[in-house]
């Protein structure tokens, strides 16, 4: 019997939870704020769904509701991606400066 592809994805999901569990416990507490901002940025990979949604139409009906929602989601996710990574970089930069000072 064929295994449903859903089961494969579900396996990836469960294993990723375990990876996340062990990786996050190894994060040093002083970097918990950058951890939050970077997880924020990477969870915006949801933008891939938004891109598919906004490119779904052909040229004649470019602006049906589905496409418009996709485009709005692109803006929201892009704010997060750029904002999240850049603010993380800015924070981590401060941890670096200190090291040089010493």
Partner 1 sequence: MSANLSAIFYLISGVLFILALKGLSSPKTSRQGNVFGIIGMIIAIVVTILSVGNFSTGLIYVLMFLLLGGAIGAFIAFKIPMTAMPELVAGFHSLVGLAAVFVAISAFLKPEVFNLGMPGNIKIVSLIEMSIGASIGAITFSGSVIAFLKLQGIMSGSPITFKGQHFINALIGISIIVLIYYLCVTQLPNLFWLIILLSFLIGLLLIIPIGGADMPVVISMLNSYSGWAAAGIGFTLENTALIITGALVGSSGAILSYIMCKGMNRSFFNVILGGWGGADKTLDTKNSEQRPVKSGNAEDAAFLMKNASSIIIVPGYGMAVAQAQHSLKEMVDTLKNNGIKVAYAIHPVAGRMPGHMNVLLAEANVPYDEVFELEEINNDFANCDVVFVIGANDVTNPIAKTDPQSPIYGMPVLDVEKSKSVLFAKRSLSPGYAGIDNELFYRDNTLMLFADAKKMTEDIIKNL
Site for partner 1 in 17-36 (CB under 8 A): 17, 19-21, 23-36
User: Binding string, 55-94, against partner 1, x = CB under 8 A?
Assistant: xxxxx--x-xxxx-xxxxxxxxxxxxxxxxxxxxxxxxxx
49 binds partner 1 (CB under 8 A): yes
How many residues form the binding site for partner 1 (CB under 8 A)?
Answer: 87
Whole-number minimum distance, CB 89 to partner 1, in Å? 6
Secondary structure (H, E, C), the chain: CCCCHHHHHHHHHHHHHHHHHHHHHCCCHHHHHHHHHHHHHHHHHHHHHHHHHHCCCCCCCCCCHHHHHHHHHHHHHHHHHHHHHHHHHHHHHHHHHHHHHC
């Amino acid at each position: 019997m064929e295994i449903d592809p859903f089961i494969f994805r579900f396996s990836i999901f469960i294993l990723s939870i375990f990876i996340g569990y062990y990786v996050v416990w190894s994060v040093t507490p002083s970097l918990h704020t950058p951890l939050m901002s970077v997880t924020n940025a990477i969870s915006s990979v949801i933008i891939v769904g938004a891109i598919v949604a906004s490119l779904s139409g052909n040229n004649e009906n470019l602006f049906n509701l589905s496409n418009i929602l996709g485009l709005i989601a692109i803006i929201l996710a892009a704010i997060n991606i750029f904002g999240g990574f850049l603010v993380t970089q800015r924070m981590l930069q401060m941890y670096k400066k200190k090291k040089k000072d010493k």
